[in-house]
């Protein structure tokens, strides 16, 4: 059975990424959510893509250097409120699947906080380009559903080799790998990012797990 996820909740072009309103609309359409995890100065796990606030809020400040209370005020003023992970878990109600990409290298404190929060849902996958995040999470809890992300420049030998590791239960591959038939030998779920063309979505929607936006 294939499952599709809306990238940062961007179901429509006028939506603001990684907001609860966008997430709710995605759930209404019966799709899962793929979102990003960053950590604020006061150790709040938030749904936010960038390491810096410049692109979203025209403020040259790193996420790790700002408390969530201040970030909330800034984002509310821009009408693009940044939710915490626990806010997303609350509205998903353990009913809709989530793919959570860890962006920074997390401390043990943040990893433990993440593990605690994930007890609120069974429908999730946690993945990252930073394999150390996954290794450290696996050491803390071997039951977590963890996946490794690969860039479009990754070679098949590396993908196959790393897919065999115990802490990797699924893979995240760039959409250029969609037509690669050699991946059928990998006996783990694969999620393909980020599909932005309707023809591509239509071609693979019945056979591949897709992460898409603005379709």
Residue 149 lies in a domain: yes
Instruction: Check: CB of residue 49 under 8 Å from CB of residue 17.
Output: yes
* 3-class state of residue 192 by DSSP: strand
Residues ≥6 apart with Cβ < 8 Å to 114: 37, 45, 85, 102, 106, 126, 137
pLDDT in tens, 168-181: 999 999 999 999 99
Looking at the 3D structure of the chain, how many domains does it have?
1
Residue 77 lies in a domain: no
pLDDT in tens, 125-159: 999 999 999 999 999 999 999 999 999 999 999 99
Residue 78 lies in a domain: no
Residue 15 lies in a domain: yes
Distance CA 184, CA 16 (A): 36
Residue 28 lies in a domain: yes
Whole-structure pTM value: 0.96
Residue 11 lies in a domain: yes
Residue 124 lies in a domain: yes
CATH code, domain carrying 193: 3.20.20.190
Residue 39 lies in a domain: yes
Residues ≥6 apart with Cβ < 8 Å to 203: none
Instruction: Check: CB of residue 15 under 8 Å from CB of residue 9.
Output: yes
Q: The domain containing residue 197 runs over which residues?
A: 5-49+85-212
What local confidence, expressed as pLDDT, does residue 12 receive? 86
């Amino acid at each position: 059975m294939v499952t599709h996820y809306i990238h940062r909740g961007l179901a429509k072009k006028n939506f603001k990424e990684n907001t609860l309103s966008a997430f709710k609309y995605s759930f209404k359409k019966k799709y899962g959510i793929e979102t990003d995890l960053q950590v604020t100065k006061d150790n709040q796990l938030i749904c936010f893509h960038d390491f810096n606030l410049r692109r979203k809020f025209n403020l040259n400040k790193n996420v790790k250097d700002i408390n969530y209370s201040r970030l909330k005020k800034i984002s509310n003023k821009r009408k693009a409120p940044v939710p915490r992970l626990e806010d997303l878990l609350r509205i998903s109600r353990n009913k809709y699947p989530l793919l959570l990409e860890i962006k920074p290298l997390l401390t043990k404190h943040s990893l433990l906080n993440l593990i605690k929060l994930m007890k609120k849902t069974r429908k999730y996958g946690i993945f990252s380009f930073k394999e150390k995040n996954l290794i450290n999470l696996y050491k803390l809890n071997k039951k977590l559903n963890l996946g490794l992300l690969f860039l479009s420049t990754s070679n098949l030998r590396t993908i196959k080799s790393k897919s065999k590791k115990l802490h990797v239960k699924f893979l995240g591959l760039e959409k250029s790998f969609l037509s690669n038939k050699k991946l059928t030998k990998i006996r783990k779920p694969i999620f393909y990012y980020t599909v932005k063309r309707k023809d591509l979505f239509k071609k693979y929607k019945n056979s591949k797990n897709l992460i898409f936006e603005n379709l």
